[in-house]
Amino acid sequence: MKKEVKDQIIETISAQLAQYPNFYVTDISGLNAGQTVKLRRACFQEGIKLNVVKNTLFAHVIKGMENEEIKSILDVLKGNTAIMYSESPNGPAKLIKNIQKDLGGKPELKGAYVQECAFIGADRLEELCSIKSKEELIADIVALLQAPARNVISALQNAGGNTIAGLVKTLSEKEEK
């Protein structure tokens, strides 16, 4: 491979890493053409970009980064490597878990860099699946913030035409629960 081509590939990988905050390093070796098409289609539907890369070129990009956490991914760059880039922290993990049943255990997770943390090994797949996305975390926070307001509204509705003393008693009973 000519140096110009290598430089262009390195530049492309660097651009992908800058664009997508999360990436998964996987092994898709052994998939036939039909299975590969199925995997690529599933990735496209989930908004995941899948690229097969040469380990040496990907390692060159990672070594050039100043982030020490991301450099732990270098240990998994052996054999065939495909990178799944994603905006969602858990999207590729869920896709891998779901599609492994249909594709005979592939793609196999080698490692991931998600939310500025490195995860090494296929045994971390369940942990990666349980990571919540930004939208899920915001929804949880909103639900927690709305809970006290719902209690007050419920107490007001239950108190109806009762006196203030009855309303205070109803509110204190709700707090004790």
Assigned token pair, 155: 């107490």
In angstroms and rounded to an integer, the radius of gyration of the C-alpha atoms of the chain is 24
The residues, ordered by sequence, that sit 6+ positions from 10 with a Cβ below 8 Å of its Cβ are 57, 60, 61
Assigned token pair, 20: 């997508």
β-strand partners of 139: none
Convert the pLDDT of each residue in 84-137 to its tens digit.
999 989 999 999 999 998 888 889 999 999 988 899 999 999 999 888 877 788
Convert the pLDDT of each residue in 66-76 to its tens digit.
888 999 999 99
Please answer whether residues 80 and 28 qualify as being in contact, where contact means their C-beta atoms are separated by less than 8 angstroms.
yes
Residue type, position 47, single letter: G
